[in-house]
């Protein structure tokens, strides 16, 4: 079955079970699932119930699509995402994003846990992603499907300046500290060596992580507006030899979850 038919079957299932007319969608990253408890009148679908959806295998990723209301807006929440390092193809990694588009979602909010390479960053900081560097395989490699988007999509404004302003406004209003910078996407699953962190800093990154970039590329390809946050769970570089663990990534995520939740609520309120 071709991808358009698979997307249509998945979207039809979600429409039937969770409804329609969404104001936005949110993708929650590693250890950042707490926002899901803010959804009112929530209805949830396990990813395994949606035709053609991959299943996420990472600890701290729930694997549920939740539909409901937040700040008075109809919102879809993807609690759990698909990573390339799990062995998914890039088409699988980004399948959910295309289903959201098929459902009429025009505004996409994403979050992830990342490693800081900007030496000013501290674990627990929330970084507004203003640009990215893609060092993963590009999800749009292959024949272009015109129904999904153009052959050569522009990436000069991948992250919506309009939505970024709403996030800065929410940060000021709710007194939640917010940094900003460039996110570098690497395949993982290894964390970086000290020299790799240093290299990523040298080429202009502020944080590095194993997700989000393919989703943003596909979302921009189909014309969605994107806002993304990276929660800094650790800081890496030549002079910080501290070991990174997945457990640490999840623990700091729990601390920063509150900040992230406040920021997303603030954005949704003013959207």
Binding window for ligand HPA (CB under 6 A); candidates: 33-41, 51-59, 205-213, 257-265: 205-213
Contacts 24+ apart (CB under 8 A), 143-152: 145/3, 145/4, 147/4, 148/3, 148/4, 148/98, 148/101, 148/221, 148/222, 149/221, 149/222, 149/223, 150/221
Rule CB under 6 A: choose which of 176, 234, 261, 264 binds ligand HPA: 234
Among 92, 94, 180, 233, binds ligand HPA (CB under 6 A): 233
How many angstroms separate the CA atoms of 161 and 203, rounded? Answer: 23
Do strands 40-46 and 64-70 pair parallel, antiparallel, or not at all (unpaired)?
Answer: antiparallel
**Residues 128 and 45 sit within 8 Å (Cβ to Cβ):** no
Applying CB under 6 A, does 214 fall inside the site for ligand HPA?
Answer: no
29 binds ligand HPA per the rule CB under 6 A: no
Least distance between ligand HPA and beta carbon 259 (Å):
16
- The correct pick among 191, 213, 222, 228 for binding ligand HPA (CB under 6 A) is 191
Indicate which single residue of 31, 63, 80, 236 sits in contact with ligand HPA (rule: CB under 6 A).
236
Asked if 135 is part of the footprint of ligand HPA (rule: CB under 6 A), the reply reads no
Selected binder of ligand HPA within 123, 185, 209, 237 (CB under 6 A): 209
Q: Is 132 a catalytic residue?
A: no
Nearer to ligand HPA, 7 or 127 (CB): 127
User: Exposure pattern of 136-163 as b/e (b: 16+ CB <10 Å)?
Assistant: beebbeeeebeebbeeeeeeeebbbeeb
Say whether 84 is catalytic: no
Cβ 234 to ligand HPA, closest distance in Å?
A: 5
Mark 111-130 with x for binding to ligand HPA (rule: CB under 6 A) and - for no binding: --xxx---------------
The CA-atom distances, in angstroms, between 246 and each of 30, 56, 163 are 9, 16, 30
Q: Does 254 bind ligand HPA (CB under 6 A)?
A: no
Q: Give me the catalytic one of 9, 246, 248, 254.
A: 246
Contact 271, 166 (CB under 8 A): yes
Peptide bond between residue 205 and the one before it cis (omega within 30 degrees of 0): no
Q: How far apart, in whole angstroms, are the C-alpha atoms of residue 203 and residue 211?
A: 19
Give yes or no for residue 210 binding ligand HPA (CB under 6 A).
yes
Query: In angstroms, what is the minimal distance from the CB of 47 to ligand HPA?
Result: 22
Report how far residue 199's alpha carbon sits from residue 65's, in angstroms, rounded to the nearest whole number: 37
Under a CB-based contact definition with an 8 Å cutoff, are residues 270 and 168 in contact? no
Catalytic status, residue 198: no
* Contact between 257 and ligand HPA per CB under 6 A: no
Closest-CA residue to 227 (of 102, 101, 130, 100): 130
Q: Which residues pair with 41 in a beta bridge?
A: none
Name the catalytic one among 30, 88, 171, 186.
30
Q: How far is the CB of 132 from ligand HPA (least distance, A)?
A: 13
Of 77 and 205, which CB lies nearer to ligand HPA in the complex structure? Answer: 205
Whose tokens are 């249509």? That residue is 8
Which residues are part of the catalytic machinery? 30, 61, 83, 85-86, 113, 210-211, 234, 246
Task: Catalog residues that contact ligand HPA under the rule CB under 6 A.
Answer: 113-115, 191-192, 208-210, 233-234, 236, 244, 249
């Amino acid at each position: 079955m071709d991808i358009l038919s698979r997307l249509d079957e998945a979207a039809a299932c979600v429409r039937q079970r969770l409804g329609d007319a969404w104001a936005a969608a949110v993708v929650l990253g590693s250890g950042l699932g707490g926002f899901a408890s803010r959804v009112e009148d929530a209805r949830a679908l396990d990813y395994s119930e949606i035709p053609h959806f991959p299943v996420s295998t990472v600890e701290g990723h729930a694997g549920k699509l939740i539909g409901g209301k937040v700040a008075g807006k109809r919102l879809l929440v993807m609690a759990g995402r698909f990573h390339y390092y799990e062995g998914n193809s890039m088409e699988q990694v980004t399948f959910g994003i295309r289903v959201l588009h098929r459902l009429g979602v025009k505004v996409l909010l994403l979050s992830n846990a990342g490693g800081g390479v900007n030496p000013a960053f501290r674990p627990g900081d929330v970084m507004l992603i203003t640009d990215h560097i893609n060092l993963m395989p590009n999800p749009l490699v292959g024949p272009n499907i015109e129904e999904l988007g153009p052959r050569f999509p522009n990436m000069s404004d991948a992250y919506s300046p309009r939505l970024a302003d709403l996030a800065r406004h929410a940060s000021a209003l709710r007194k939640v500290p917010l940094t900003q910078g460039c996110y570098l996407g690497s395949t993982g699953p290894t964390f970086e060596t000290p020299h790799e962190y240093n290299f990523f800093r040298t080429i202009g990154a502020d944080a590095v992580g194993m997700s989000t970039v393919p989703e943003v590329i596909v979302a921009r390809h189909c014309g969605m507006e994107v806002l993304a946050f990276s929660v800094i769970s650790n800081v890496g570089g030549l002079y910080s030899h501290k070991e990174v663990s997945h457990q640490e990534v999840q623990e700091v995520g729990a601390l920063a979850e509150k900040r992230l939740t406040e920021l997303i609520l603030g954005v949704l309120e003013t959207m």
